Amino acid sequence: MKRWYAVYTQPHKEMLAREHLERQGFDVFAPRYLKRRRHARRVEDVPASLFPRYIFVAFDVSEPSWRVIRSTRGVADLVRSGLDPVPLPFELLQEIKDRSGDDGYVALARSDQLKAGAKLRIESGPFAECEAIFQSLRDEDRVVVLLSVLGRIVKTQLSVDIMTPVG
């Protein structure tokens, strides 16, 4: 029975590994998203791997043909426990696939929910229970917020995971 497994790739070789595995007849899932990049006063959305250095491959471990995966161009190894590859929960990959749009990119829900000027509550860390004002999204997991500290407004970057919208 085919199950999904994680493949650890060489640095920045996710798409190379995907291409070569697909040529060998494997079902491959390499989730990507559009990352906002700022360079030289320009802002652009560029494709980036959702899980850098990891892609997912479906195969049946009872068939010996899966062993060629480890020697495929771009692949470093399979995620294993001892000698055996570790299967992934079907629900995990299905949830990621469900969040993929028609363009093939995974939608990161956090960025859709935050609007400039929105009030956020910090849930943990040194600023726990403080409120901040959302200013911008830095990357896939960090936001720039304005925070009142000792009577001054300070701009800082925090993890989006420790924030919840207020109101």
The enclosing domain of 20 has a CATH number of 3.30.70.940
Same domain as 94, residue 64:
yes
Q: How many angstroms separate the CA atoms of 69 and 52, rounded?
A: 18
**9: pLDDT confidence band, cut at 50, 70 and 90?**
very high
The residue-averaged pLDDT of 71-92 equals 92
The predicted pLDDT at position 37 comes to: 75
Q: Count of residues for the chain?
A: 167
Same domain as 140, residue 85:
no
Same domain as 102, residue 116:
no
Q: What are the residue ranges of helices labelled H in 32-161? A: 90-98, 109-113
Same domain as 71, residue 21:
yes
**Domain residue limits at 47:** 3-107
What contacts 162, CB < 8 A, 6 or more positions away? 122, 123, 124, 125
Q: Pick the residue with more confidence: 26 or 38?
A: 26
* Closest CA relative to residue 156, chosen from 139, 121, 140, 132: 132
pLDDT of 149 higher than 80: no
Same domain as 71, residue 11:
yes
The residue-averaged pLDDT of 65-88 equals 94
Same domain as 32, residue 61:
yes
**Contact call for residues 34 and 20 (beta carbons, < 8 A):** no
Q: Which domain-ending residue is among 107, 129, 152?
A: 107
Same domain as 89, residue 17:
yes
Q: Which domain-ending residue is among 82, 107, 132?
A: 107
CATH number assigned to the domain comprising residue 130 = 2.30.30.30
